[in-house]
Every structure is written in C-alpha cells, then in structure tokens.
Structure 1
Amino acid sequence: MSAAKPPNPRRVAVRALRDIEQRRGFSNRILSDQLERHVELARRDRGLITTLVYGVLRHQARLDALIDAAADKPGKLKGELRTILRVAAYELVELDRPPAIAGAEAVKVAKRIDPRGRLRGLITAIVAGVARDAPARAAAWEAGDPLTALRERWSLPAWLAARWLAALGPERALARARVLAEAPTLDLRIDLGRTTRDEVRARLEAEHPGLRFVELPAAAGDQPQAVRVQGAGDLFYGPLFESGLISIQSLGSQQAVRALDPRPGERIIDACAGMGTKTAQIAELMQRQGRLVAMDASAERLAELEAARERVDLDAEGLALEIVHADLAEDPLELDIELEPGSVDGLLLDAPCTGLGNLARHPELRWTAEPGDVPACAALQATLLRRCADWVRPGGRLVYAVCSLEPEEGPQVVADFVAERGEFRVVKEEAWTPEGARSDGFWLARLERG
C-alpha cells in the first residue's frame, strides 16, 4: 500500500489560519494540531506552514491594506478567499516570491472553494497588484503618520497603536512594533544537572543543520542554562527535547525563576504553573531536593505537566512534587493539600495577563485582545497576588511576573499591594522591552516579607 500523499502546505496553512480566526484560539496549539494530523509532511513543508501561519498573523493588517488597494471590490474578499490572498501577499512581500509563482500557488489552494477556476483571474490580478504597489505603499508608511504606520505597516490593533503612541511617543512605539513584527528567536533551557552546554551545542549542530546560535541580550546577564537559537526546525520531536535535556522556554520566563532563587531543601510554590516549564526549572535549581507545589486553574495544562514529569526528571527521590488543580481567584479557596499560611520559602506568581509583550511569539493576540482586557487582567492579578502572599513565610521571597509592559498589569499592581501589605517590600524590579532587549516584553518584581 502506497504512502499517503502529503497535502499542499499552503492549504494546511490556510486551514490553520481559518481555525485560529474562527475559534479565537492560541496559534501555537492550533498549528500543532494541524501538523500532527499530517505526519507525512516533509520537514521543509512543515517549516513553510509554520512560517506562513505566524507571518500572516504578524502582518495581517499590512497584507489587508495591500490586498484592498489592489482590489476593485475589497469588501467582497471574505472568508477563505481573504485568507488565501493574505498567504499569497505574505509570500510576495516577506518571502520575495515572484508574483507568477505566488499567484499560481494561490489559485491551486483556491480550488477547494473554486473548483471551476472562476476566481483565477481575480486572484492573479490582485496578487500582481500587490506586487506592483507594495514598494510605494511601504515608502508612504515610512514617511507618513505614525498612527497609520503602527496600525497598517506594523499591524497593531487601532486601540493598542493609539495606547503605545501616547505612552511611548512615535520613535519608541514604532521601534517596539517593528521588533514585534519580526519572527522571534527560540529560547532554550538546558538541564545542567544532567548535561553540559558544550554537549547540547554539539548535538544541536549535528541534529539540526541550518541552526545558528544567537547572542543573548545584555539584559539577560549570566544565565548559564539559557541558549538562544534560530532556524532550529521542529525541536519538539528531537531527542534532546524528548529526553528532557532541553526545554523550550523564553528568556523572560527563565529570568523570573532565577529572580526567585530557589534553593535545595526549600518549600516552593509555582502558583500559575501551566504546563510546568517553570516548575521544571525550579526543580533543577533546587537540585531536585525539597517540596515543590505546582498549581494551576487549568486541568488540561496540569495534565501536560503530569505527562512530562518523567521526561524532565520531576520524580527524583529527594523532590516532593505536588500538582494541584486550583483556581486561586475562587473565594473560598479549596485545596486538596495541606498548605498553611506563612509556610513556604519562595513563591512564583507568573500571573495571567494580556500577553501584549508577546505579540511576536503569540501574534494572534493582535486580533483577539481588547482594550478592556488590561483592567480586567489587572483586577485578577491583584486578587491572585493577595492570595499567594499569605503563604510566604517572614523572610521569604515572592516573585510577581507578567509578559506585558502595560503599567496597570505590573508596577501598579505591585505598588497597590505593597501599600496594602506593609510587611512586604520590593527588593528588585526588572523590565525587558522588545526594542531594548530584542526579546519578549516582560516585567517582574521580587518582594520579600519582613
């Protein structure tokens, strides 16, 4: 029996983009689901699909502006046809695909909705128009109004473009938007308790041709566990990842754990553990000795942590790991473990947030986030911080972190908390801006209880 014929990679990309738009879901999960359905896809095609999906999401408003300018009746370009044209336009302006090839590939993908080929002429004409007009439109954006450039050239939603322009000024707002429109590098964490940096670098180079190592930003300081790479392909299916010797984890996330400074033998809580990436790093820095509680409101994410615990060596003899499904915003809070007030040495609260510092890595947030999300997240964050603080012992440490640079979600939450709870003091604050660190944007504070 012959092997199944691989699907057209552009069709898979269109399907993923439609799914992301209709479900308003996380792009990484929906893309992963699509790729897992087509194991027969070659690595090159998987890479193209990934590039197209994330690229279209990062540049969507720009692509729409170019498409609309090239169309006689742009209002009629809806649904799957609009998505097909976005993919073709992205290939033109970002991947330097010749118009004839981009147009022909778009016509192929459109056969599902246009089996008789009636849209061939329309698609070909629009793709040619985009190719013709793109240089002039780029020059106009560069020379024109900053707000229009933020909204169209750099594909920010109107409310966020106006917000950043007012808060940062034109130069910084445009610099931030420019970095967040780039494909991000991939940050890795090495388990130095089980391997070495030299071994990991050598194996990455051997197992992933085309990979290159990228220098860490100066803001990262000394992070011996961290490595930044580009062009790595699909590391999730490589032996280094499957053996737990490396984990995929942003520098900001790693920095938050290092700010907590967990030590062997301590009692530590990872209060919003998610899938457990930070939990594993905490365990590594504790040398897998002590009590570690991983909490999250999502049973689905905790199931992924449970499934990964053997891979990342969370069952070590000296480590008492407890995985707790709990919504810390509930009142009264019910836990299925004993956790007395003032009983832990350190607590990490990587709080739910708007994620507006992560628009490069999670570009769908450009089109799903709303202005009301900022105050809503700030209210939730304040509730979680008050709840978590009670577990920290006198002399203990609490790290609060968010992947957002909006003041209401970071400095204001902590300032209000410290004003309310005078026994806590801020001993460290740290902010990474995309334009300064060429990394995801995040903010953290380390507090100590007197």
Structure 2
Amino acid sequence: MSDPVRGTAFDVLRAVDERDAYVNLLLPTLLRERGITGRDAGLATELTHGTLRRRGTYDAILGHLSRQGIEGIDPPVLDALRLGTHQLLGMRVPAHAAVSTTVDLVRRTSGHKPVGFANALLRRVGEKDLDTWVTELTAGLGEDQALSISASHPVWIVQALRDALGPDGDLRGLLDADNLPPKVTLVARPGLSDPSELPGEPGRWSPYARILEGGDPGEIAAVRDGRAGVQDEGSQLVAITLAEATVDGQDDRWLDLCAGPGGKAALLAALATRRGAHLVANEVQRHRAELVEQALRQLPDVEVTVHDGRHGPWEPESFDRVLVDAPCTGLGALRRRPESRWRRRPEDLATLVPLQRDLLDRALDLTRPGGVVAYATCSPHRAETVEVVDAVVSARPDVTVEADHQWWPHLHGTDAMFCALLRRG
C-alpha cells in the first residue's frame, strides 16, 4: 500500500458501510497488523474518526456539488471523497496534498474512471472553508435541519436530544461535544488496584477514575492484567450508584443481567467482593460472555452465565441488587462510537423499547423486597429512559423510583448515561 495511513482509514470506512464494523475494534486491529504506530497511527485515527463524526456535513457539501447527488456516487469513491473533504476542511493538511492523496486513493481502489470526477469535486470543496460552506447550505432551513448539517447529526437524533434536554438545555453544546474526541478514562478496580498507581488526572465524579491525555492504555500494567480497565466515568457511576444504595438486611447476592462486554460487571464485582457478596454476571450472547470473562479474570469468584435475561433460570426475589444495563440505541456514546449516528434508525426503538421494559420488569421480579435495581442505558432518548421506567413502575405498585440521573458529555464530560434507581417494596 503506497499510503498505508489513508488506506487504513479508507478500509475502516468501507467496513463500516459494508458489514457494520465497529471502529473501536477494527481500527486498532488494522493498525497493529500493518505496523502503523506513533504519529502515523494518530493520523489514521483522526482521519477515520473525524471523517465519521463530520460525515453529515461533508455529505451535504459533496451532494451540493455533485450533479448526481450523494446517492449517485459509487460508495467506495464516496468514502474516499469524505476522507479528502475532512483533510481539506477539518485538518491542517495542505490543499494540494489532500487532493492528490485522495485522487491516488480513488485510482488505487476504484480504477481510473472516477479519477477526474474526484479531482474536480475536491478542488471545488477546497474553494471555501467549512464555516462558509455551512452558512451557505443551512440558509433558509429550519433549526433542526440546519443543526443536522452544521453539527453532523441525523435530524431524528437532533430532535431526540432536544427532547431529552428540555427547553432550557444547551443542544448546540451537546452536539458539539459529540464531535470532540473523548479522553481515555481508566478505572481502578477496588481491591485489585488503587487509582494512585494509574497515570492521569483524577476523574471529576468517580473516585476510581483517572483521565489520560493520550497514549495507549494497553501499555499500562494494571490494565494489561485486568486489575484496572478502560471505562467512561458515566459507566463507572452506574455501578457505583447501585453499589452505594442502602439495602437493609442481607446483601450477598448481586446480579448484572446484561453484563457484556464487562466493564460495569468488573467494577461491580470488585465492589461486591470487598463486601463478601457474590455477583452473577449474565450475558445473552456467548461471544460477549467471553468478553465478560476476560474483564473478570482477576475476580474468579464471579459466576458468568449465558441466558436471555428475560427467561434465565434464577428464582424470583433471589437477589439483593440487580443491574439492568439494557441494550439501547447508544445515542449517549456518539463521540466514542461516531459510526453509530449513521447506523441507527428511529425504527430501532420499536424493537429495543419492549426489550428494555421486559428486562427491567424481570429484574424487579428477581429482586427481593427491600432490594434495589439500577436501570441504565447509554442513551438519553426519553423513550429508552424515563418512559421505560414510568411504563414499568406504573404497572407495579410494589416498586418505587428513588432517584434518576442523566449525565451529559457537555456538562459532565461523560457519555450521556442514564441511570434510575428503583426499590422493590
């Protein structure tokens, strides 16, 4: 490959489009396989993540300039053009280098036929800066449509986030935060490591957190051997919220009903172990259960099970604390998983919301009177958060909501995690 950095970014974009690949898993793998390290790895990461984050804006520009619109551009050529547009408008790459490297990429991956088209289109993109393009393309549009282009979020997500924030919320601040690369956050698992032995600054909210400015967390010994992990502070706060809730009487049976890939389960297990409690970490998919086992490898007393959480073999009222980290749209982690905003559709809620309600209802059945359930989603969408809780609790006079929390990237520096604490009466 004559340009392995741009070629790797291109390959990741194609994998996202063709087979719904996850960037956070695929990109590090390709970088290792191709021996791309240091500044080149950083460039490949910025090219990939930056292009995906700003794809909505770049597509609006490319669609405006192309006579056939976005839909008429061959997908591999379109991905190359997106990479070129990001270099022209979102990075400090000289215009001639951005155009020539992208044209070379098009020639190598799609042949000679689209080369002239790509060259001409990118030269037109480079005639104006990003702010000028956005101003021109959003003139006369409604507020949500304009935000969709300028902040690079699908309109339905803009509307969902506006609804979740409420009338006084800083929607623009949230959308901008989604487009910033998140810092790497570490968690020291209690009893296995101490935050003081980890690099970075203390977290704002979790006593176990350390925030890194950069670097590879895999090079940290405590992370390599499972005594610490990489975990957003919002995710840590969910486990802490459940663990710190008051429970009268016995407190030795804990359950994580949807444990994959294992970050919350590992912190919860460490907290449980220090109190002499036993955690069951359940996951419906075998390959994700294996990830849970890997995360829990320093906590061998935890029981990892593979069941549909709605129908697992546990006795009613047999647990003191239960975590339901429910499958969701993931709209709270758009800065961390930039491809999600283009992958998800509003119709996904029709499948996810009934599942979320069923899992929460089952968790409450499995909790003894006086015990607590934490219901969490990495999404602030009201249909997946307060509306799920309200629907389940309204049909259960034996349950009360003690608290709910919504953390935000632009306010707390975390993913947009939701957590409600419910008590079984």
TM-score by length of 1: 0.85
Alpha-carbon separation, structure 2, partners of 1:408 and 1:114: 42
**Does structure 2 conserve the Cα–Cα contact (< 8 Å) formed by 1:351 and 1:400?**
yes
Structure 1 residues 6, 279: CA separation in 2 closer, same or farther (over 3 Å shift)? farther
What is aligned with 1:277? 263
What is aligned with 2:299? 314
What is aligned with 1:303? 290
Whether 1:354 aligns to 2:329 is yes
5+ long unaligned stretches in structure 2 = none
**Does structure 1 conserve the Cα–Cα contact (< 8 Å) formed by 2:272 and 2:279?**
no
Residue type of the partner of 2:127? R
Matches within 5 A, 1:26-425: 26-38=22-34, 40-75=35-70, 76-114=72-110, 116=112, 119-134=114-129, 135-140=131-136, 145=141, 146-165=143-162, 168=166, 172-201=170-199, 213=201, 216-217=203-204, 220=205, 223-232=206-215, 234-261=216-243, 266-288=252-274, 289-310=276-297, 313-315=298-300, 320-329=301-310, 333-335=311-313, 339-425=314-400
**Does structure 2 conserve the Cα–Cα contact (< 8 Å) formed by 1:147 and 1:165?**
no
Structure 1 residues 258, 307: CA separation in 2 closer, same or farther (over 3 Å shift)? closer
Alpha-carbon separation, structure 2, partners of 1:430 and 1:165: 17
CA deviations 1:107-130 (Å, max 9, x no partner) are 2322323555x5544333322222
TM-score by length of 2: 0.89
Q: Partner of 1:390: helix, strand, or coil?
A: helix
The alpha-carbon deviation at position 88 of structure 1 amounts to: 1.2
Range with bigger deviation, 268-277 or 21-30: 21-30
The alpha-carbon deviation at position 154 of structure 1 amounts to: 1.4
**Does structure 1 conserve the Cα–Cα contact (< 8 Å) formed by 2:324 and 2:360?**
yes
Structure 1 residues 231, 334: CA separation in 2 closer, same or farther (over 3 Å shift)? closer
Alpha-carbon separation, structure 2, partners of 1:15 and 1:138: 28
Residue type of the partner of 1:314? L
Whether 1:25 aligns to 2:21 is yes
Structure 1 residues 230, 93: CA separation in 2 closer, same or farther (over 3 Å shift)? farther
Q: Partner of 1:90: helix, strand, or coil?
A: helix
The alpha-carbon deviation at position 426 of structure 1 amounts to: 1.1
Alpha-carbon separation, structure 2, partners of 1:59 and 1:425: 42
Give the root-mean-square deviation of aligned CA atoms: 2.6
Q: How many residues align?
A: 416
Alpha-carbon separation, structure 1, partners of 2:281 and 2:160: 35
Structure 1 residues 139, 380: CA separation in 2 closer, same or farther (over 3 Å shift)? same
**Does structure 2 conserve the Cα–Cα contact (< 8 Å) formed by 1:399 and 1:444?**
yes
Q: Partner of 1:113: helix, strand, or coil?
A: helix
Identity of matched residues, %: 29
Residue type of the partner of 1:152? I
Alpha-carbon separation, structure 2, partners of 1:164 and 1:275: 26
Select the residue among 415, 418, 423 that pairs with 1:440. Answer: 415
The alpha-carbon deviation at position 291 of structure 1 amounts to: 1.3
**Does structure 2 conserve the Cα–Cα contact (< 8 Å) formed by 1:375 and 1:408?**
no
What is aligned with 1:207? none
Residue type of the partner of 2:340? L
**Does structure 1 conserve the Cα–Cα contact (< 8 Å) formed by 2:31 and 2:37?**
no
Residue type of the partner of 2:292? L
**Does structure 2 conserve the Cα–Cα contact (< 8 Å) formed by 1:189 and 1:225?**
yes
